[in-house]
Amino acid sequence: MQLGVNVPNFGPGTDPGVLREWARTAEGLGFDLLMVSDHVAVTPDVAERYPEPFYEPFTTLSWLAGTAPGLRLGTTVLVLPYRHPLLVARTASTLDRLSGGRFVLGVGIGWARREFEALGVPFGARGRLTDEYLATLRDTWAGDSGHRPVPVWVGGHSEAALRRAVRFGDAWHPLRLPVARMRSVLAEHPVPGFAPRIALRLTTAPVDDPERPAGIGTLDQVLDDLRQLRDLGAETVVFDPYHGDPEDTRRPQQAWRTLTTVATHWRTA
């Protein structure tokens, strides 16, 4: 099972040097995959958790591809309705070619209503548009040798999202769910692959909440989460060390220490 890191590509503490250090740290710790998130118009609803500067994901990953040549690269998740699908097909396949086949396209339908309004995309149609755009991506990559097919991970855990993952995806990519919830979904849905993104926050005392998201708890709890996800068939698990406070982007060293602890103990477990 491979491990990845969702890197904050936003916030007051993030600049090119910090992004470069994130990539070098992840590669140096033996992680396999570096992912970033996506917003286009940082409207007030977005800015509360993901403020400017917000580095566009394709540009950022293209730049980081040369910084950390041993890492796979991906989006978790690209809001697919924000861009014309032919543009996404071209951009994703170009990044995949330039990086030597290292790109993973994680996609989702989005949540920020005001951002949709700013971009002139109907919020209520985002599920339908995502399905249509995924079909366009698949057909474009299948029918044109100028486009390189890219692995697609489909986010979300609604019934519609799971149908979308089965129909269009190479993997289901749930975000920050408890292990028990993921186990239940997998028992009911024959998804093509499984690549969850989980939280990462170590605590000194065990977290006894039955709704505890995977990745939050003592080191023993987090290592057990990883073992359970591996047993459920996860090909990749992506850690997300960001917990919603933009000021944390000024202190990336704290997240790096946590990643170091988990990576070191996981390798020797």
**Rounded Cα distance, 172 and 14, in Å:** 29
pLDDT in tens, 193-215: 999 999 999 999 999 999 999 99
* pLDDT over threshold 90, residue 176: yes
User: At CA 125, angle to CA 121 and CA 126, rounded to 5?
Assistant: 75
| Residue 100: per-residue pLDDT | 96
Quickly state the pLDDT bin for 269 (edges 50, 70, 90): confident
At 21, the amino acid letter reads E
Domain ranges of the chain: 2-174+187-198+231-268
Judge whether 130 and 81 are in contact, CB under 8 Å. Answer: yes
Nearest to 137 by CA among 81, 97, 85, 95: 85
- Interval 132-150 mean pLDDT: 90
CA 26 to chain centre: 15
pTM above 0.85, yes or no: yes
Quickly state the pLDDT bin for 148 (edges 50, 70, 90): confident
* pLDDT over threshold 90, residue 231: yes
197: β partners: 175, 238
* pLDDT over threshold 90, residue 226: yes
* In the chain, % of residues over pLDDT 90: 97
Q: What is the radius of gyration, based on Cα positions, of the chain? A: 18
- Interval 104-110 mean pLDDT: 98
* pLDDT over threshold 80, residue 105: yes
In three state form, how does the secondary structure of the chain look? CEEEEECCCECCCCCHHHHHHHHHHHHHCCCCEEEECCCCCCCHHHHCCCCCCECCHHHHHHHHHHHCCCCEEEEEEEEHHHCCHHHHHHHHHHHHHHCCCCEEEEEECCCCHHHHHHHCCCHHHHHHHHHHHHHHHHHHHHHCCCCCCCCEEEECCCHHHHHHHHHHCCEEECECCCHHHHHHHHHHCCCCCECCEEECEECCCCCCCCCCCCCEECHHHHHHHHHHHHHCCCCEEEEECCCCCHHHHHCHHHHHHHHHHHHHHHHHC
Mean pLDDT of all residues in the chain? 97
- Residues whose CB is less than 8 angstroms from the CB of residue 234 and which lie 6 or more positions away in sequence, other chains included: 1, 194, 195, 196
Lookup: tokens for 124: 């209520």
For domain 2-174+187-198+231-268, the CATH class is alpha beta
Judge whether 107 and 152 are in contact, CB under 8 Å. Answer: yes
